[in-house]
Amino acid sequence: MKKYWNMLNTIKKLLIAITGWCIALSLPAQNTPTKLTFKEAVKIGLERNPALNQEKNNLVTSTATKTSSLLQLTPQVNISGNAGRNDGNSFNQQQGAVVNGILDFVGANINASMPLFNGLNNVNTYRQSVNQLDAQSQLVHRTSQDVIRNVAAQYLTCLLDKQLLAIQERNLETQQKQYDQIKEQVAAGSRAEVDLYNQEYQVKNAQLLVIRAANTLRNDMIVLAQTIQLDPSVPFELAEPEWDLNLVMEELELADMYTTAIERRGDLASARFNEKASQLGYQAVKGTYYPRFSLFAQYGSRYNYIHPTENFNPENRTFNQQFFEDNLQLTYGMSFTIPIYGGFNTRSTVIRNKMAYQNAKLNAENTELTVKSDVQRAYQNYYDVRTGYDAATAQLKAAELSFSLEQERYNLGITDIVSLTQANQNYFRAQADFASAKYTLLFQKILINYATGTLKFEDIP
């Protein structure tokens, strides 16, 4: 029996172990960083960015406003009614006399009205809402481009930080090896001890630079996480974009860029639609100076019940007799309103809308100048960055060769530690300049498309 129980316990422990092992395999690794590509980062940013989502919500509101403005051109229909009690004198249609007592009543009406003319107020208001909707649609489009640009800038900043950290780590490794070599040479008496102290300073300085580079990378990664609305406590790594620099290096025509930007920039289109909407709003308000004419119709009925008293026993007709036969009433006709004096309220409203139109016109003109300035800046920066990239490439090659030769001269005892240190600093500074020039050049294609208004998520490689 004891042997049987021991066997059962063994099987039980084995099952528990297998179950725990299966659960551990099914759970995701909590500390394994997620690999995040540039396109995935942009996609997440477009889905979660608060400013973009707010503009999309405003687009829904603008759509509803347009629909409402359109339906204001159609007849307006409603049902009204009342029910109550009157205690005292009242005229009763069924009795044909004034009745003193308690009277219960119920009434209902169907009302309809149709504007005939109101100074084209409703028409211009509808046209204004159409332009406001177009303006908001263009603003959503431009805001999405803002998100792509901001995510791209922060993503490439983090990639540069990562590259600079790797450069500083290699520098530290090189300085440490140089320190170990000099230490052995000092111990052998072939080097002065001051060289060892100088190299120790270089090692400590390299350690400090590594710490600073790592801190910069962490801070910029947090900013990137905030930009795309990720939890900064969840670790993630950035994937190096495999972009072809040859595709970035294209010849540009400034005149063509101007033409494209004027046609495609969402902020300029939005400003122009807002200008048109403000003009139509101004015209709509001016319509309040004119008389207003509209058709109206009302169809309804009423039921009364007179409570009997000791001295009065009324003959109350039934609900069906009163409501569907006796008290049916149809009223229809045309109404008009002629404005004469309203305390200059209309005039002040017209002036406000006129000034809003003038401001919208100024904003559209300023936006067009801004677009041209953005295109000019992007064009000039692109060629400056290309020139800088070529210079950084040549500088890196020269600095690498200089450092290699200077290290060889130092090992042969021809030069001193100061010259070697200077050559080493120049070499790693050239690496940092080349990395910066490379990532800046990669970013230029996005900046050019952003300046011309052609930046799209689908075009991201």
Residues 43 and 151 in one domain: yes
Give the pLDDT band (50/70/90) at residue 353: very high
pLDDT of 418 > 80? The answer is no
27 domain residue, yes or no: no
pLDDT of 20 > 50? The answer is no
- Which residue type occupies 207? Q
Residues 256 and 245 in one domain: yes
7 domain residue, yes or no: no
Output the pLDDT for position 343: 78
Output the pLDDT for position 414: 77
Tell me which of 15-19, 251-255, 404-408 is least confident: 15-19
Tokens of 57: 């919500």
Output the pLDDT for position 5: 46
Output the pLDDT for position 194: 85
Tell me which of 79-88, 99-108, 367-376 is least confident: 99-108
* Domain total in the chain: 2
pLDDT of 376 > 90? The answer is yes
Q: Which residues of 34-55 are buried (b: 16+ CB within 10 A; e: fewer)?
A: eebebeebbbbbbeebeebeeb
- Which domain, by its residues, includes 302? 75-117+292-338
CA nearest 94: which of 85, 103, 82, 86?
103
Q: CB neighbours of 165 closer than 8 A, spacing ≥ 6?
A: 210, 213, 214, 216, 217
Output the pLDDT for position 33: 66
Residues 365 and 298 in one domain: no
Query: Please, which residues bridge with residue 112 across strands?
Result: 77, 297
Give the pLDDT band (50/70/90) at residue 233: confident
Top pLDDT among 18 and 245 is at 245
d(CA 190, CA 53): 69
Output the pLDDT for position 116: 86
384 domain residue, yes or no: yes
Output the pLDDT for position 206: 87
Top pLDDT among 260 and 87 is at 260
Q: CB neighbours of 224 closer than 8 A, spacing ≥ 6?
A: 41, 151, 154, 155, 157, 158, 230
- What rounded mean pLDDT belongs to the chain? 84
Give the pLDDT band (50/70/90) at residue 15: very low
pLDDT of 373 > 90? The answer is yes
Tell me which of 59-73, 304-318, 338-352, 437-451 is least confident: 304-318
CA angle, 61 then 46 then 267, to 5°: 60
Instruction: Report the chain's terminal Cα–Cα distance, integer Å.
Output: 71
Top pLDDT among 400 and 244 is at 400
Residues 189 and 303 in one domain: no
22 domain residue, yes or no: no
Top pLDDT among 409 and 144 is at 144
Beta strands 236-238; 34-36: pairing state: parallel
How far lies 304's CA from each of 76, 95, 99, 146, in Å? 29, 10, 12, 67
Residues 136 and 186 in one domain: yes
Q: What is the CATH number of the domain that holds 106?
A: 2.20.200
235 domain residue, yes or no: yes
Output the pLDDT for position 219: 93
For 116-177, give the DSSP string. EESTTHHHHHHHHHHHHHHHHHHHHHHHHHHHHHHHHHHHHHHHHHHHHHHHHHHHHHHHHH
276 domain residue, yes or no: yes
How far lies 460's CA from each of 148, 236, 396, in Å? 10, 21, 29
352 domain residue, yes or no: yes
d(CA 103, CA 303): 10
Task: Give the global pTM.
Answer: 0.78
Residues 177 and 282 in one domain: yes
Tell me which of 72-86, 132-146, 384-398, 409-423 is least confident: 409-423
Residues 331 and 391 in one domain: no
Output the pLDDT for position 364: 94
pLDDT of 243 > 80? The answer is no
Average pLDDT of span 15-26: 43
pLDDT digits (tens, 9 = 90+) for 172-220: 888 888 888 888 888 888 778 888 888 888 889 889 989 999 999 999 9
Give the pLDDT band (50/70/90) at residue 426: confident
Output the pLDDT for position 133: 95
Residues 88 and 160 in one domain: no
Average pLDDT of span 272-298: 91
CA nearest 54: which of 144, 148, 150?
144
Asked if residues 350 and 282 have their Cβ atoms less than 8 Å apart, the reply is yes
CA nearest 167: which of 432, 360, 371?
432
Output the pLDDT for position 25: 40
1 domain residue, yes or no: no
pLDDT of 163 > 70? The answer is yes
Output the pLDDT for position 27: 37
Output the pLDDT for position 197: 86
Residues 314 and 172 in one domain: no
Q: What is the CATH number of the domain that holds 70?
A: 1.20.1600.10
pLDDT digits (tens, 9 = 90+) for 28-74: 444 566 888 888 999 999 999 999 999 999 999 999 999 999 988 88
Domain boundary among 338, 365, 395: 338
